[in-house]
């Protein structure tokens, strides 16, 4: 059965508009995905009918809001195949999820002389929190090198591992290049030396089937907005025993069991890490994004996106002056490239004039760009609602630009 692209596109009202007089082609999905009607309607429905604070009210609306909020937690648990809903913590996004681990796990378990391993592929939000922690604690940050294709060098990673390694924090799929890291092998090797592993799943969660129990990662962080859900909402998964051993993140309401001026005791997980009134409406709407993905199935979505990437490569690789960046064997649907003789930003502006939305620049991966000797790239990232005819328009636009500069 062919992928029901027309039916899917009907679910995304935003796609049906013109930009600069041309039909919008949205290829900036790694930055954020568009939202299906069901998510937008759930958000509206919450504020029209159910709005109330959760976990504390003695009235019907509070009961309803609490129930819907906790239903999303269970939906997330199932989505990443966690063992229990208590292992799911709602945050503001991947960035906050990683910072939460740095502030709590890091403050308690990382000491002077300890080592944290990341890779050259990391987004800034999986670099800076660890630099801050290392500076505070006198710990050391080690970086796994990559090859020219944008793949980590596994044997170099193994050399970095030692009893001093307390944490390996690594991106599952690179936002800048699309590389899928061999995370199962990384996790197994890190566990051999007793280190915990955090996976930055910001990009993998929308494309790959995630099974945190099978992966055996200790933490998994991702953002709802890259998964057809609302902005300002993220998830931190942690294994129960690891979360229970960690001190709380922020202090305030919800995260306490009992407060007195002499002593405060803390709530159980996940509430210990959800201080204050959370992002209730967006959490409730997020369940509908997960249901949207579930209704088509990750496998079918990935197959469709892989086909789009292969088609883009087929059309563009023969074009003189087209330089792909990131040619890993295993990739999610990210096409990063440069055109000889053109600044990536100028390419982005010219594609925008044709209605094609891409991201240009360093993609919050400055050390990676430095390693590749680039200022930045043009990045087209594909999602469930993109079509082959849109890929043809991209290829046409890029080919025109390349021809001008590469006669």
Q: Which residues bind ligand C6P (CB under 6 A)?
A: 30-31, 93-95, 123, 125-126, 171, 175, 200, 202-203, 223, 359, 363-364
CB 15 within 8 A of CB 9: yes
Tokens linked to 31: 């930055």
- 338: which strand partners? 323
Tokens linked to 104: 């709590």
- 118: which strand partners? 143
Q: Is 371 helix (H, G, I), strand (E, B) or coil?
A: helix
In angstroms, what is the minimal distance from the CB of 175 to ligand C6P? 3
Residue 134 is among the residues annotated as catalytic for this protein: no
Q: Which is nearer to ligand C6P, 233 or 319 (CB)?
A: 233
In angstroms, what is the minimal distance from the CB of 212 to ligand C6P? 17
Name the strands in the sheet holding 359-361, side by side, starting at the edge strand that comes first in the sequence: 322-324, 334-339, 377-381, 359-361
In angstroms, what is the minimal distance from the CB of 299 to ligand C6P? 22
Q: Which is nearer to ligand C6P, 170 or 402 (CB)?
A: 170
Return all residues near 292 (Cβ < 8 A) that are at least 6 apart. Answer: 11, 36, 38, 39, 228
Q: Which is nearer to ligand C6P, 269 or 334 (CB)?
A: 334
In angstroms, what is the minimal distance from the CB of 162 to ligand C6P? 26
Strand ranges, E, within 3-138: 18-19, 22-23, 25-26, 88-91, 115-119
Q: Is 146 helix (H, G, I), strand (E, B) or coil?
A: strand
Q: Which of 127, 117, 99 is nearest to 157 (CA)?
A: 117
CB 292 within 8 A of CB 301: no
Q: Which helix (H) or strand (E) holds 397?
A: helix 388-405
Q: Which is nearer to ligand C6P, 345 or 388 (CB)?
A: 345
Q: Which is nearer to ligand C6P, 312 or 402 (CB)?
A: 312
In angstroms, what is the minimal distance from the CB of 375 to ligand C6P? 16
In angstroms, what is the minimal distance from the CB of 359 to ligand C6P? 6
Q: Which is nearer to ligand C6P, 54 or 171 (CB)?
A: 171
Catalytic position from the list 308, 364, 383, 401: 364
DSSP-assigned letters across all residues of 203-247: TTTTTS---HHHHT-SEEEEEGGGGTS-SS-EEEEE-HHHHHHSP
d(CA 236, CA 103): 13
Show which residues are catalytic. Answer: 364
């Amino acid at each position: 059965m062919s992928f029901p692209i027309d039916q899917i596109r009907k679910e995304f009202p935003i796609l049906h508009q013109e930009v600069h007089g041309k039909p919008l082609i949205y290829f900036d999905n790694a930055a954020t995905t568009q939202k299906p009607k069901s998510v937008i309607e759930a958000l509206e429905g919450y504020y029209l009918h159910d709005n109330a604070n959760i976990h504390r009210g003695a009235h019907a609306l509070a009961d309803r809001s609490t129930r819907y909020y906790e239903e999303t937690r269970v939906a997330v648990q199932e989505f990443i195949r966690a063992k229990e809903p208590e292992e799911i913590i709602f945050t503001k996004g991947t960035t906050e999820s990683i910072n939460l681990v740095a502030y709590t796990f890091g403050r308690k378990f990382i000491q002077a002389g300890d080592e944290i391993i990341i890779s050259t592929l990391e987004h800034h939000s999986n670099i800076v929190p660890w630099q801050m922690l290392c500076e505070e604690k006198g710990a050391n940050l080690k970086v796994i090198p990559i090859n020219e294709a944008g793949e980590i060098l596994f044997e170099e990673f193994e050399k970095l591992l030692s009893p001093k390694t307390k944490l390996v924090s690594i991106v599952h799929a690179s936002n800048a290049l699309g590389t899928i890291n061999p995370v199962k092998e990384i996790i197994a090797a890190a566990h051999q030396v007793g280190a915990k592993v955090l996976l930055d799943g910001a990009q993998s969660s929308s494309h790959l089937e995630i099974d945190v129990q099978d992966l055996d990662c200790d933490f998994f962080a991702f953002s709802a907005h890259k998964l057809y859900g609302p902005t300002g909402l993220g998830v931190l998964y942690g294994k129960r025993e690891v979360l229970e051993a960690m001190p709380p993140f922020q202090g305030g309401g919800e995260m306490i069991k009992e407060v007195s001026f002499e002593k405060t005791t803390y709530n159980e997980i996940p509430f210990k890490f959800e201080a204050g009134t959370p992002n209730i409406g967006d959490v409730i709407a997020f369940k509908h994004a997960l249901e949207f993905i579930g209704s088509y199935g990750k496998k079918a979505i990935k197959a469709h996106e892989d086909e789009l990437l292969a088609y883009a490569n087929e059309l563009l690789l023969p074009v003189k002056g087209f330089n792909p960046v990131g040619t890993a064997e295993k990739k999610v649907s990210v096409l990063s490239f440069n055109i000889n003789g053109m600044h990536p930003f100028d390419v982005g502006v010219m594609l925008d004039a044709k209605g094609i939305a891409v991201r240009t620049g360093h993609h919050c991966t400055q050390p990676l760009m430095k390693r590749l000797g680039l200022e930045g790239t043009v990045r087209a990232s594909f999602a469930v609602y993109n079509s082959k005819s849109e890929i043809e328009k991209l290829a046409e636009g890029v080919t025109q630009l390349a021809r001008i500069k590469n006669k």
